[in-house]
Amino acid sequence: MQEFKAVYNERSILVPAQGEADSLQQDGFGYRNQKGQAELDHCEALYLLERERLVIIDEGERRLLSFQEVLNKGLVYDPLLWAKYIIYRDIRVRGFVVKSNNDKSFLVYERGTYLKKLPSYEIYNIYEGATESIGHLETMLLKTKESNRSLKLAVIDRRGEVVYYSFEKLSLGKLSTDIIE
């Protein structure tokens, strides 16, 4: 496999060679930033580093960065980066194209549909020990339904294991107090 080159510039991971950037984008990695440059998010860069498909050069220090160094730099801006990466990697290894949607979710394309169709799933990340309101989950569910996507919850435990749950409807209804006497 071809090894691509990227530059770590402050907080950004840029792919300067146009041909390499285009090739990565065809495979579902990166996006064009406001300046028209190809940029990878940290999860994408870490995945490509782990797979030995990418080398990252620190622009200021002019040296190659290791997986751990890129992770540490990203953790400064996003303390949940490691947990996000575990979920990202798990989805990628299963053969899906994954794009970051926001701080807590990913958009996932069915195999073979990237650049042809819209994403089929939104994976909402939940971390063991963190609280999540029912109202927020209901809002997420309504937004994904409006976008014709299915909502999946990715729950990651302290051991780094990911379990996925389909979340299709929320019905709390009336709670019965018959058993309380």
Q: Identify the CATH homologous superfamily for domain 4-77.
A: tRNA intron endonuclease, N-terminal domain (3.40.1170.20)
Paired with 155 in beta bridges are: 126, 163
* Domain positions in the chain: 4-77, 81-167
Fold of 81-167: Trna Endonuclease; Chain: A, domain 1 (3.40.1350)
Among 15, 72, 9, 10, CA closest to 48: 15
pLDDT computed for residue 69 by the predictor: 97
Q: Work out the average pLDDT over 159-165.
A: 91
pTM: 0.87
126, 154 Cβ separation under 8 angstroms: yes
Which residue do the tokens 């495979």 mark? 27
pLDDT greater than 50 at residue 181:
no
What are the tens digits of pLDDT across the range 15-58? Answer: 999 899 999 999 999 998 887 788 999 999 999 999 999 999 99
pLDDT greater than 70 at residue 176:
no
175 or 86: which leads in pLDDT: 86
Q: Which amino acid is at 60?
A: G
Helix, strand, coil content of the chain in percent (nearest 5): 30, 30, 40
78: confidence class by pLDDT, cuts 50, 70, 90: very high
pLDDT computed for residue 170 by the predictor: 60
What are the tens digits of pLDDT across the range 126-161? Answer: 988 888 888 888 888 989 999 999 999 999 988 989
pLDDT greater than 60 at residue 173:
no
pLDDT computed for residue 175 by the predictor: 43
pLDDT computed for residue 171 by the predictor: 52
4, 24 Cβ separation under 8 angstroms: yes
Q: Which residues contact 67 (CB under 8 A, 6 or more apart)?
A: 46, 49, 50
| Integer CA distances (angstroms), 181 to 173, 176, 177, 178, in order | 21, 12, 8, 7
